[in-house]
Amino acid sequence: MGTDQALLYIVATPIGNLADMVPRAIEVLQCADLVAAEDTRHSQRLFAHFAIDTPLVAYHDHSDDKRTGQLLQKLEEGQTIALISDAGTPLISDPGYRLVREARNRGVRVVPIPGACAFVAALSAAGLPSDRFSFEGFLPAKAGAREKALRELAGDPRTLVFYEAPHRVADTLEAMAVAFGGDREAVIARELTKAFETMYLAPLDELTAWVRADSNQQRGEIVLLVRGAERRRDSALDGEAERVMKLLLAELPPRRAAALASEITGANKKALYNWSLEQK
């Protein structure tokens, strides 16, 4: 498939069920000169299933500039390269950005081959608003950084979409309940397209308890979706409520400050809390 026109294909692969592989993707992988894969051993099963014998080379998050340079040189020589990740659409929380960016800078034609994407599949079936959403990928692994990231998203009115590791999912749901409120609706979408596919919609407090009670829900590939914050309909805080909140926020976290300010001023606790988030 080598041509004078350099081509870099970005090829989506199944997230579980191999029957979801699109015919065009099979053809591209069979005909390319080289396939750059996140994990060449993982990709061997896909190649064996579809009788693909194209040479594989590793390209992942830890690939250095030398490997990127080697791929770019092959492209400039007119070879066709296909980029795949372990599953789903490359560059969606997967490696590839550096290669795609530099290829474009060098005049290489970059061609997407659409297919499976875990967060899109989850969003389509979650039962949460999908007209506006924000894909946040993986939250920070450390608790403090994760909680800070969630606090910053608490007032976002869009549906929030996350990927999460199985061993962290219960703690993350608990942190979401604290940051967003335990009554905020959320969905866990687990092992999509696979034998043990699960989608469960519930308020965050209930969802957290359900996941903690069943270790099976803490396994596999996981997408978390959270309904966005309700748009504020309450009237603006009066000057006294704002003054009290400013004093309390100097010493207390927003949720505790809002609770105390509500007792002191009689203002709505949720309105106080939302106001505190807007001040950041």
Whether residues 26 and 99 share a domain: the answer is yes
Whether residues 258 and 220 share a domain: the answer is no
Whether residues 29 and 71 share a domain: the answer is yes
Residue 180's CATH number: 3.30.950.10
Q: Could you write out the DSSP letters of every residue in 227-246?
A: PPPPPP-SPPPPHHHHHHHH
Examine residue 152 and state whether it is found in any structural domain, yes or no.
yes
For 202-259, write each residue's pLDDT tens digit: 999 999 999 999 999 999 999 999 999 986 554 567 788 888 989 999 999 999 999 9
Examine residue 233 and state whether it is found in any structural domain, yes or no.
no
Residue 97's CATH number: 3.40.1010.10
Whether residues 243 and 221 share a domain: the answer is no
**Model's pTM, two decimal places?**
0.80
Please give the residue range of the domain that contains residue 212.
Answer: 137-226
Examine residue 201 and state whether it is found in any structural domain, yes or no.
yes
Examine residue 179 and state whether it is found in any structural domain, yes or no.
yes
For 140-171, write each residue's pLDDT tens digit: 999 999 999 999 999 899 999 999 999 999 99
Number of compact structural domains in the chain? 3
Q: Residue 236: what pLDDT?
A: 65
Examine residue 204 and state whether it is found in any structural domain, yes or no.
yes
Whether residues 71 and 42 share a domain: the answer is yes
Examine residue 264 and state whether it is found in any structural domain, yes or no.
yes
Whether residues 176 and 261 share a domain: the answer is no
Q: What is the mean pLDDT of residues 115-139?
A: 97
DSSP state of 13: B
How far does Cα 277 stand from its chain's mean position? 23
CB burial of residue 121 (10 Å; 0-12, 13-18, 19+): buried
Using a pLDDT cut of 90, give the percent of the chain over it. 81
For 75-119, write each residue's pLDDT tens digit: 999 999 999 999 999 999 888 999 999 999 999 999 999 999 999
Whether residues 193 and 98 share a domain: the answer is no
Q: What whole-number distance in Å separates Cα of residue 39 and Cα of residue 212?
A: 31
Examine residue 33 and state whether it is found in any structural domain, yes or no.
yes
Residue type, 14: P
Examine residue 247 and state whether it is found in any structural domain, yes or no.
yes
Whether residues 47 and 101 share a domain: the answer is yes
Residue type, 226: V
